Amino acid sequence: MVEAARRTSPLEGRAFRGHGIVLAPAAPASRLSLRAAEEALPALSKALGLSLPRRPKTSAAEGGRAALWLGPDEWLVIDEQGADLPALAAGVSALHSAVDISHRNTAILVSGKRAEEVLAAGCPQDLCEARFPVGAASRTVFGKAEIVLWRTGKTVFRVECWRSFSDYVFSLLEKAARETM
C-alpha cells in the first residue's frame, strides 16, 4: 500500500515570543485568488457570503471568512474553517476566475504592542493606525519577499506569503523582533 501524501506546514514548530511581540504560524486555511469585473461582484458576494470590498486597501470579514481587496478586479479570499471556496464560486455563472491557492500561501500571525515596529523592519508602507487601520489589507513587500498584509486587530497582523518564502519571512521577522527589543 502506498502511503497517502501528507502535507506539513513549512513553518512547523516555529514560534517566537519576545517583549511585546509574538510570532506564530497561522492555522491552515483555504484560499482563493479571485478575479472578476464589477458585473460579477453581486453574485460572487452572495455565493461567498460576504460583500466583496470595492475600495483600495480594505477587507470584509464574516465568520472566519474574509475577502481582501488586492486590486481593482482582484481579491484574496481566506476561509479559516477550510471551506471549499472554489465550489462556492463554481455556482456563479457571471464571468470570473477563481483559483484555489490554499497551499501556495501560508501565513504568519504577528501580534503584540511592537507588531507595527517589527513589520516596519521589512515593510516600507506606513503602518500607523491612521494610515493602515484595523481591517486594512494590501499586497506589499517584506524584505525581498512579496506579502499580503492584513491588520486584523489594533496590534494583530496577518502576513500571507508564498509557502516557499515563509522561512525567509519568518526568519526576518524574528531577526527584527530580536533586534528592536
Partner 1 sequence: MLLIYCPYCEEERPELEFRHAGEAHIARPENIAGISDEAFERYFFIRSNPKGIAYERWRHIHGCARFFNAARDTVSDRFLATYRTGEPKPRLEGEGQ
Which residue stretches of 15-152 are H helix? Answer: 41-48, 85-90, 115-119
Residue 13 interacting with partner 1 (CB under 8 A): no
> Sign of the C-alpha dihedral, residues 79, 161, 60, 113?
positive
Q: Are 157 and 26 in contact (CB under 8 A)?
A: no
Q: Is 141 in the site for partner 1 (CB under 8 A)?
A: yes
Smallest gap from residue 74 Cβ to partner 1 (A): 7
Q: What number of residues does the chain have?
A: 181
Q: Cβ closer to partner 1: 33 or 45?
A: 33
Residue (70 or 176) nearer to partner 1, CB: 70
Q: Is 166 helix (H, G, I), strand (E, B) or coil?
A: helix
Alpha carbons 128 and 149: distance in angstroms, whole number: 13
Q: How far is the CB of 3 from partner 1 (least distance, A)?
A: 39
Total number of residues that touch partner 1 (CB under 8 A): 13
Residue 140 found at the interface with partner 1 (CB under 8 A) = yes
- Residues 18-77 close enough to bind partner 1 by CB under 8 A: 56-57, 70-72, 74
